[in-house]
A and B are shown apart, each in its own frame.
Chain A
Amino acid sequence: MGDDTPYLLDGTHWSGPTGIPHLLLAHLGYTGVALLCGIAIALPVGLYIGHTGRGSFLAINAGNAGRSLPTLGLLMLMVTLMGLGFLPVLIALTVLVIPPILTTTYAGLRNVDRSAVDAAVGMGMRPWQVLWRVEVPMALPVMLGGLRSAALQVVATATVAASVGLSGLGRLLIDGLSVNDYGRVVAGAVVVAVLAIVLDLGLGLVQRYVVSPGVSGRGLRRRGARASAERLDPDLL
C-alpha cells in the first residue's frame, strides 16, 4: 500500500480485461441474465396464481423458502454438482430473483379492487383481457416494486460469481482480499453500491412511465381542487 492514489482514481484500473468497465459489464451481464431467467419463471406462475387464486400456498411457500436459501451455499452446491462455469452462478442468482417477483406478482394481482374485476368480467372481457387490461395495469406498482427489489438483490449478490472463477465486480473484492489490497476491496464495494443505486433509479424512472397516473396518483390534481390550482402531489412518487 505504498501508493496513495485511491484505486478508483488510478487510470490503469479503467482498462483491459481486469479493468473496471470490463468487470462492470460482466457484472451487469450476470445480473441481467439472472433477472430475465427469474422473470421468465416467476412471472407466468405469479400471474396464474394471482389471476385464478389457485395455488396461492405455492406462491407464499416458494417465496419464503427461496428467501431463506443462502446464495453462496447454493452456488457451492451447484458447482459441486455440475462443475465450474456460468450455469451454477446463473442458477444461484435466479433462485434469488424468483421469490420477490413471484410474491409481488401474486400479491399485486390479489389486491386489485375486486369490483373493477367484476365490472370487467360483467362487461364481457375474456379472462386474458381481464388479466392484461385490468389486473396487470392495476397491480403494476407492486409488481415493479418486486422487480426493483429483485434487481437490487441480484446486483449486490452477483459478486459471488468471482468466488468460482468468473468475472464481475466480485473480482475486486476477492482479488483484493487475497492480496490484502483493501483499497481495491473498498473500490469494489463502492462500485457495486453505486451500480445498485443507479439501477434502482433507472427502474424507478421506468415505473414513472409505465404506471398509469390514475394508479400512481402522479401529477393528478386532487379531487375538489379547482382547475386553476395546478397542485401536484409530491408525496406520491
Chain B
Amino acid sequence: MITFEHIRKQFPDGTVAVDDLDLELPSGKITVFVGPSGCGKTTSLRMINRMVEPTSGRILVDGEDVLEKDPAVLRRGIGYVIQHAGLFPHRTVVDNVATVPHLLGRSKKERRAAAMELLERVGLPTAFADRYPSQLSGGQQQRVGVARALAADPPVMLMDEPFSAVDPVVRDQLQQEFLRLQSELGKTIALVTHDIDEAVKLGDTIAVFRAGGHLAQVGTPQELLERPADDFVRDFVGRDRGFRGLSFESAASLPVRPLGEVGGARLVLDDSGRPVCWEGPGVRGGSAPVEGTFTAHDSLRLVTDLALSSPVATAVRVDGAGRADGLVPHHDLVDHLAARRAPA
C-alpha cells in the first residue's frame, strides 16, 4: 500500500504543484492518476520514488517512510516505466532488462536468465534479446520498458504515461497485455495518464486531479462515470460517459428474442449454427454479413454498439461455442436501459 499524507510540493519558483494530498493506493491494485496537464499528477507519482522531493508531508510505501530511505536503494525496489520507454540505446535488450538486477549485484548468468523469462512474459520473442533498442518498434520498446521495470520483481510499480507514445492499435494491445500481466502478478501500481478512457480501462481506482494539485474525486471507474463529484469531473469524464458507463454493466440480464425474422430480414446460420449473414428485403442489397456477436458475459456497451451498427439494428447473442441463441433488437435494448433506471 502507498499512502500520501498531507503531501505538498512547491517548486522554487513558487508554483504549487501538489497541495495537501491525502491518498491511499491499495496493494495489488492499479490506481490511475488522471487529470489535465499541470494538475500535479506526474509530480505526485515521482514523489513516490523521490525523483521529486515533497516540500512537506509523508509518503509511506508498505508502512515505510520513503524520505527515510537512501533514494537509490528505494528506487531499485520500485519498478519505473516512462513514456518513451527510456531504454539505453547502447545496451542490448537483455542488458536493458537486467539493469536493476545488475545494480543489485546479481550474477551475470542469473540476470540473463531472469531477463529472458521476462521478455517472454511481456510477449517478446527471445530472439530479440541481443538486439538493440533502435531495432525495435515503439510498441516493442515499451514492452522492454515494462520488462525492465519488472526485472527485480518489485512489489510496487510507477508508470508515467506508459502507453501514450504508441499508435492506438498498439496501445490497445499493450493495455490488454498489461491487464493480463497484472492479473498474474498483482503489483501495487500507480499509473499516470491524461487520457480518461485509458484510466477507465486500466484503473481499479481512479484519482482525478485538478489544476493546483487538488484531488477532484477518487473512486472506481464506474463511480466516476455514474456519479461525478462536480462539474469539473463531469466535464473531464466527457459527454459520452453514459455510453461508456455501459462497459460496467453485464448483458446477462438482457432479455433476448428467439431466432427468427426481424424487420424483414432473416438470420442465416451455417451448419453448426453460427451466424453468417442477414438476408431478406429488409436488408439493403438483399444480404449483409453479421459483423459481430456477444455472449452473456459481455458488456451492455458492446451490445449497444452491435445493435447500432447492425444492418437490421439487431444484436446477435451466441453461446460459448459461437452458436446463435438469441436476438436483441435495438428497441428492446432501449427498453432495458430505461427500465434499469426506473424506480423499483
Q: Are A and B physically bound partners?
A: yes
The segment out of B133-141, B255-263, B294-302, B316-324 that lies at the interface is B133-141
Residues B89 and A223 in contact, CB atoms below 8 Å apart: no
Interface residues of A in 99-121 (CB under 8 A from B): 113, 115-121
- Whether A137 contacts B103 by the Cβ 8 Å rule is no
Interface extent on A, as a size class?
20 to 34
A1 lies within 8 A of chain B by Cβ: no
Task: Name the contact of B133 in the complex, choosing from A117, A140, A214, A222 (C-beta under 8 A).
Answer: A214
- Indicate if B74 sits at the interface (CB-CB under 8 A): yes
Q: Is the CB of A214 within 8 A of B86?
A: no
- How many Å lie between the Cα of A224 and that of B148 in the bound state? 23
Given known contacts A124-B76, A223-B135, A116 and B86 CB-to-CB distance under 8 angstroms: yes
Q: Please report the C-alpha to C-alpha distance between residue A23 and residue B76 in the assembled complex, in whole angstroms.
A: 56
B86 touches A119 (CB 8 A): yes
Interface bits A204-223 vs B (CB < 8 Å: 1, else 0): 00000001111101001111
In the complex, B113 has a CB within 8 A of chain A: no
Q: Which residues of B contact A226 (CB under 8 A)?
A: none
A123 touches B100 (CB 8 A): yes
Residues of B within 8 Å of A134, CB to CB, are 88
Tell me whether A122 and B51 are in contact in the complex, defined as CB-CB below 8 angstroms, given that A115-B86, A137-B90 are known contacts: yes
Interface residues of A in 121-140 (CB under 8 A from B): 121-126, 129, 133-134, 137-138, 140
A116/B103 contact (C-beta < 8 A), A121-B51, A214-B134 known? no
A215 to B88, CA, bound (A): 9
The answer on a CB contact under 8 Å between A119 and B87 is yes
Per the 8 Å Cβ criterion, residues 132-158 of B in contact with A are 132-137, 145, 148-149, 158
CB–CB B135/A113 < 8 A: no
User: Is the C-beta of B234 less than 8 angstroms from some C-beta in chain A?
Assistant: no
A129 CA to B88 CA, complexed, in Å: 13
Q: Which of A117, A123, A211 has the most CB of B within 10 A?
A: A123
User: Of all chain B residues, which has the CB nearest A116?
Assistant: B86
How many angstroms from the CA of A118 to the CA of B76 in the assembled complex? 14
Please report the total number of B residues contacting A with Cβ < 8 Å: 36
A120-B88, A212-B91 are known contacts. Are A125 and B82 too (CB-CB below 8 A)?
A: no
List residues of B (65-99) whose CB comes within 8 Å of A's CBs.
71-77, 80, 82-92, 99
Contacts of A115 in B (CB 8 A): 82-86
A220 near B88: Cβ-Cβ < 8 Å: no
Enumerate chain B residues within 8 angstroms of A138, measured Cβ to Cβ.
Answer: 88-90
Proximity string of chain A (79-115) to chain B, C-beta cutoff 8 Å, 1 when within and 0 when not: 0000000000000000000000000000000000101
A118 pairs with B82, CB closer than 8 A: yes
Contacts of A220 in B (CB 8 A): 131-132, 134-135
Consensus secondary structure, chain A interface: helix
Q: How far is the CB of A175 from chain B (nearest CB, A)?
A: 49
Q: How far is the CA of A217 from the CA of B89 in the complex (A)?
A: 10
A37 to chain B, nearest CB (A): 29
Residues of A within 8 A of B84 (CB): 115
Asked if residues B132 and A212 are in contact (CB atoms below 8 Å), the reply is yes
Nearest residue, chain A, Cβ from B77: A124
User: Are A124 and B89 in contact, with the CB atoms below 8 A?
Assistant: no
The reply to whether the CB of B49 lies closer than 8 angstroms to some CB of chain A is: yes
CB contact list, B31-90 vs A, under 8 A: 49, 51, 71-77, 80, 82-90
Contact A215 B73 (CB under 8 A): no
Listed A/B pairs (8) with beta-carbon separation below 8 Å: A115-B83, A115-B86, A119-B86, A120-B88, A124-B77, A217-B134, A222-B135, A223-B134
Give B contacts to A, CB under 8 Å: 49, 51, 71-77, 80, 82-92, 99-100, 103, 127, 131-137, 145, 148-149, 158
- Using a CB–CB distance below 8 Å, which chain A residues touch chain B? 113, 115-126, 129, 133-134, 137-138, 140, 211-215, 217, 220-224, 227
The 4 tightest CB contacts between A and B, nearest first, are: A214-B132, A119-B86, A124-B76, A212-B90
